[in-house]
Amino acid sequence: MRHYRLPKLKHRGTFVWPALHCALWSGAPVEQALAHSRPPAEESEGEIKTLDTIEVEGRATDLLGVAGSASQGVVGQPEFKFRPLARVGELVEVVPGALATQHSGSGKANQYFLRGFNLDHGTDFSVLVDGVPMNMPTHAHGQGYLDLNSIIPELVDKVEYGKGPYYADVGDFSSAGYARMHTLHTLSQGLLKFTGGEFGYYRTVLANSHKIGPGELLYGGEVHFYDGVWKQPEDLDKYNGMLRYTVDEEDWGVSVNGKAYHSNWTATNQIPDRAIRDRSLDLYGSLDPSDGGNSNRYSLASNFWKRGDAYKSDFNVYAVYTDLALYSNFSGYIDPAGDQIKQQERRVVVGGNGELTHYDRWFGFDMDNTVGLQVRHDEVMGLALNHTQARETLQNIRRDDVGETSLGLYIKNQTHWLEKFRTITGLRSDFVDFDVKSPSDGRNSGDKGAALISPKLSFVIGPWYDTEYFLNLGYGYHSNDARGTVQRIDPNSGDAVSPVNPLVWSRGGEIGLRSQAVPGLNTTLALWWLQMNSELVFVGDAGTTEPTGRSERYGVEWTNYYQPTDWLTLDADLAFTSSGYTHVARNANNIPNSVGRVISAGAVIDLPQGYFFTARVRHFGQVALTEGNTGWAGDTTLVSFGGGYRYKDYKVELDLFNAFDSRASDIAYYYNACTRTETCPRAGDEPGNPGLLRHPVEPRMVRVTASLSF
């Protein structure tokens, strides 16, 4: 067997881990960890080889020979600190081509879009934070509900991402892509940060770390208040806390991470465009000023990692408690009493993940073999949908208690066949078991189980002239709401309905390249295709989702990150997508709220004298709102600027959001709704007035931040 030593990894100015181990602890893709640790092919048997030091810098990191596709990448804290964030959900937008919008209050999960998917609140995009899943299956508001408000951006170390169903270690809710976020485990200095801005915006962050015994204790907290731009103030009260203890040894480590989050708010949802135009409602007005909600999330997780000369292992366990009470009125007053609904639930999630990789030389080839296990159980209590008026219950529509268990097993092999040719093959098996008890209607109770197998295959060629080429193929899936898999009766109409499939296959392919041929420029280009057996789309007049037929998407993505000098950084990401249903006529096959064009670009000037300046533009468009051509959303373009001065332990910065005061839509829909004052048809199969409903972007605003390092 071949033996080799691993180097110390210089990570943002501090020596922390051997290369392999740092990649493992941070949750990096296995191929990344092994690429950094693998001895050169020409090394003789028994020879000891020490690798060069590797500098991890986020998007500037050299991923040639490391990534498994052109659509994988990493973004680090150095890029976060210069990126003005109007809201926490925009952390997702560090994934090129991803978009986070909001159609309700700041305490609710964002609406996400990627690769032509209307992801609703997370249906086909999965996120893990320190190994803990954030997506919630069989959720009161939407399948895969993804609420990132419990994250403190200043404590995020890096975000690793991948797009497409090509990765064996990623399971449910990841057909469009995934992101793994990792928080810091130590701070070189404590941080006290205060931000104040227009419309009653106040936010304070305090964080520090201390050496205690063999490890490092990091603690951080956030307090956030915001009235918002709306005629009905948000009155957002948000509190976040994090406590993490990490022991980081040479060849093993362990961490324990506790987090707590609470939020309550008043929401302004989308309103009819016709009411804005005839001035019966203000652009920032509300159909129902009693909309809003409250949410809590508490989690405890532990991670353990270990490595030897020819293996590595990584394990974690977690327990999460969440609850949500959400009041929403999407359609106004089709019912004279109002159409507000209350969605609520309490949930306990327990689970764990384990992965073991052995790397060796078989049959004359360098080969890495990985086996992994992922287990999760959700116990959802008081899962309810009620008709309410001003937050008072008028009618109980449905109530359920759900137990949902998922098990994922995967194997993965990476083989270096030639110096410039490697393959990554994977096979994933997923099993789910649903147990639904419906006190409101026993006919909607039942048990359901399902299983599927998802093969993966990638070819990687190069690099030549600092350019690497990829061909990726794979199957993925998403789970459906457990209630829909056993439901026999529609709780609104009483009509008989057919259950939906528990698991829905997706399949896709991609060809791409990654190049660093131009000094200082990291660029990727990907041409991709994806097909879904069915998917979930938003139904505005019900405030819920429903299954649909087969869909198909294809597109092109071009990402660029350029550092021509030490003080100037430029980035530009372009994503263009075509999408449609394949089971209907071409002139009626649009996927509602599928975004066809996303462009993001920015510049950062960081001068050695302590001054820094930023500029960003964010554009999206080509958004169909109906299956036919009756409704389209307009384009949205936002420009933001920032700047400040840094002196020793002090920093002051000013951010200008929506600099040109755009009044475009943050998100738009097309469905039937009625205001209080307009004539409202209430008979027939589709009561109400059809039309465009908008939730505008927030107007131009200024925020000032003062930071102290201690």
pLDDT value for 39? 36
State how far the Cα of 514 lies from the Cα of 492, in Å rounded to an integer.
51
Cα-based distances in Å from 422 to 73, 355, 369, 469: 19, 22, 13, 11
Closest among 307, 354, 366, 320 to 169, alpha carbons compared: 354
pLDDT value for 497? 84
Phi, psi of 484 (to 5 degrees): -70, -20
The DSSP annotation for 341-384 comes to EEEEEEEEEEEEEEEEEEEEEETTEEEEEEEEEEEEEEEEEEEE
Closest among 471, 527, 473, 481 to 501, alpha carbons compared: 481
pLDDT value for 545? 52
The two tokens of residue 166 are 């090509």
DSSP 8-state assignment for residue 496: B
pLDDT value for 413? 96
- The answer to whether 83 and 39 have CB atoms below 8 angstroms apart is no
Low-confidence ranges of the chain (pLDDT < 50): 1-56, 538-541, 543-544
pLDDT value for 237? 97
- The answer to whether 29 and 20 have CB atoms below 8 angstroms apart is no
* Amino acid (1-letter code) at residue 510: E
The two tokens of residue 505 are 């296959």
Place of tokens 């208690």: 401
**CB contact set of 315 (below 8 Å; sequence gap of 6+):** 303, 304, 305, 352, 353, 354, 355
Sheet holding 8-11, edge to edge: 14-18, 8-11, 55-56
Chain mean position to CA 543: 21
State how far the Cα of 68 lies from the Cα of 553, in Å rounded to an integer.
22
**Burial of 277 (C-beta count, 10 Å sphere; 0-12/13-18/19+):** exposed
pLDDT value for 41? 36
- The answer to whether 664 and 637 have CB atoms below 8 angstroms apart is yes
pLDDT value for 18? 32
Question: Residue 93 — left, alpha, or beta (φ > 0 → left; ψ -120 to 50 → alpha)?
Answer: alpha
* Amino acid (1-letter code) at residue 280: S
**CB contact set of 225 (below 8 Å; sequence gap of 6+):** 200, 201, 202, 203, 236, 237, 238
pLDDT value for 31? 38
State how far the Cα of 470 lies from the Cα of 72, in Å rounded to an integer.
11
Q: Which CATH number fits domain 8-709: 2.40.170.20, 1.20.1070.10, 2.60.120.10, 2.60.120.380?
A: 2.40.170.20
| CA angle (685 as vertex; 682, 688 as ends), nearest 5 | 35
State how far the Cα of 710 lies from the Cα of 705, in Å rounded to an integer.
16
The DSSP annotation for 468-491 comes to EEEEEEEEEEEEPPHHHHH--B-T
Give the model confidence (pLDDT) of 132-159 as tens digits: 999 999 999 988 999 999 999 999 999 9
pLDDT value for 65? 82
Phi, psi of 636 (to 5 degrees): -130, 125
**CB contact set of 331 (below 8 Å; sequence gap of 6+):** 339, 540, 541, 671, 672, 673, 674, 688
State how far the Cα of 682 lies from the Cα of 132, in Å rounded to an integer.
46
Give the max Cα distance, the chain: 85
pLDDT value for 57? 56
Place of tokens 């994977």: 426
The two tokens of residue 586 are 């071409």
**CB contact set of 657 (below 8 Å; sequence gap of 6+):** 84, 86, 638, 640, 698, 700, 701, 702, 703
The two tokens of residue 113 are 């879009």
Cα-based distances in Å from 660 to 229, 300, 636, 637, 639: 16, 43, 12, 9, 7
State how far the Cα of 78 lies from the Cα of 700, in Å rounded to an integer.
26
The two tokens of residue 23 are 């990649």
* Amino acid (1-letter code) at residue 394: L
pLDDT value for 14? 29
- The answer to whether 380 and 346 have CB atoms below 8 angstroms apart is yes
Beta carbons within 10 angstroms of residue 702's beta carbon? 13
Give the model confidence (pLDDT) of 253-271 as tens digits: 999 999 999 999 999 999 9
Give the model confidence (pLDDT) of 20-49 as tens digits: 333 433 333 433 343 333 333 333 333 323
pLDDT value for 547? 67
Q: What count of residues does the chain have? A: 710
pLDDT value for 680? 95
Cross-strand bridge partners of residue 304: 254, 315
DSSP 8-state assignment for residue 56: E
State how far the Cα of 602 lies from the Cα of 276, in Å rounded to an integer.
33
Cross-strand bridge partners of residue 385: 343, 398
- The answer to whether 54 and 19 have CB atoms below 8 angstroms apart is yes
The DSSP annotation for 653-680 comes to EEEEESTT----EEEEEEEEEB-SSS--
